[in-house]
Chains A and B, each alone.
Chain A
Amino acid sequence: MVSIPAGAKIVTSRALNVEHGGHIANGSKHVVDSAIENGYTIFDNVAEQAVHDTVHQGIQMNDPFIFYGAGHGNETTFTGDNLDVIFTTADCEILAGRLVNLHSCSTGSRLGPEIIKKGGSSFLGFVKDWGWLAGDDIDTNDPNADPYDCIYAKPFWESANQYMISLFTGRETKRAYMECYEKYNEWIEYWKESDDPGAAQIIGLLAYDRDIMVLIEEILPSPPPSQPLWKPIVAMLPIFGIGLVVNQWDEITKLFTQ
């Protein structure tokens, strides 16, 4: 469990010049607005600033408690503007000691665990691709398009944003995760009462997004591979002078497995 200290610094990376960049940049802007409203110091790298060197320099210079990212990603990689690679499983040490939220597809499956292995204090992301819906008349690439203005897109963005917004209002990470989960549920319940023809699809995708969200704060060591009891016993027999020959190993093991 991690809580944000008062006045903590935040560095962001928010892509704009990418597929659906209008929704990504303006949907994530609500997180930035919440940070400012709650008195946090934010170094906001949006659009052309959301590239590897600028973001890494921003982290080195400002030593933020939190890193928040919104952009395209996959299992091993988080990207910024024009898909510039910001973090990979081989390049994420800079996030050691920091609380990280990547609003980005699939980064919870490998990149998130790697960030924690390398010392990150907390990671929230998605283990598969996060998706959202919008009306056919919406241009998600329009730099001014805010998903909060679209009745179909808002539930997805507001739900995902809830994690950071809860943290900014003093919640610790597990509580913020639960509030984020509950925000998805609130929207699902809202759409259950709707007669909109798209309601069923919205409910299904909201539940899908909710269930691929992960909070990672600890990587447990893998248990040692299980080994049958007979193996170490047989291996020790020559030590006790019973005269078994190592190159007869296969024959010996067959005896014990028959």
Chain B
Amino acid sequence: MIDIQTWYDRLVRLGEEDYPFISHEGVMYTPRQIFSHAQANDAIWASLQPLLNPGEITWELLKERILKRYAEGRLLQMYILGRSWTAEEIAEEVRKDSAAGQEFMLMEKKFIEEMSR
């Protein structure tokens, strides 16, 4: 079980507190929202808590995270799949749901899994 305060502090430091982290019953939750429910110890927290190890990660959520990262100018140039990809190209592939876009989403999934450990 992760220590929710440590988990949240780390995501704040990384500037990730407002990126969708898990989705539950069709609703995406950011770390800020999850932490707020944890502090209130409410019914939503009770349903979200088991999902954090790691949570349900949908393609939709991953896409939203990458596009948000792009909009905020936080995507770095990447060298993979035989070429270099600018931030704009990464975002475009993700929007198109292409094979490359799906690989970029899998990398984003790895980040969430790492932060759920």
Seen from chain A, the residues whose Cβ lies within 8 Å of a Cβ on chain B are 19-20, 23, 72, 105, 128-136, 138, 140, 152, 188, 192-195, 197-205, 207-208, 211
Contacts and interface: CB of A to CB of B under 8 A. Distances in A.
B14 A202 contact: no
A105 B81 CA distance: 8
Contact of B110 (A192, A195, A211): A211
B15 A140 contact: no
A20 B79 contact: yes
The 8 closest A-B pairs by CB, nearest first: A131-B80, A204-B111, A207-B110, A204-B107, A197-B74, A198-B76, A204-B110, A133-B76
A206 to B, nearest CB: 8
Interface in B86-101: none
Nearest to B16: A200
Contacts of B74: 197-198, 200-201
Task: From A202, A207, A211, name the one whose CB has the most chain B CB atoms within 10 angstroms.
Answer: A207
Contacts of A136: 76-77
Interface of B: 10, 13-16, 19, 69, 72-84, 103, 106-111, 113-115
Nearest to A20: B79
B24 to A, nearest CB: 21
A129 B108 CA distance: 15
Contacts of B115: 192, 203
26 contacts: A19-B84, A23-B79, A105-B80, A105-B81, A105-B82, A129-B82, A129-B103, A132-B78, A133-B77, A135-B77, A140-B79, A188-B114, A192-B10, A195-B14, A199-B15, A200-B16, A200-B69, A200-B111, A201-B69, A201-B75, A201-B111, A205-B80, A205-B110, A207-B110, A208-B107, A211-B110
| Chief secondary structure at chain B's binding surface | mixed
B80 A201 contact: no
Contact of B14 (A105, A130, A194): A194
B81 A131 contact: yes
B78 A131 contact: yes
A254 B73 CA distance: 64
B13 A195 contact: yes
B107 A134 contact: no
Contacts of A19: 82-84
B79 A203 contact: no
Contacts of B19: 200
Given A195-B13, A208-B107, A201 B76 contact: yes
A131 B78 CA distance: 7
B76 A152 contact: yes
B101 to A, nearest CB: 14
B110 A208 contact: yes
Nearest to B85: A131
A201 B68 CA distance: 12
B13 A134 contact: no
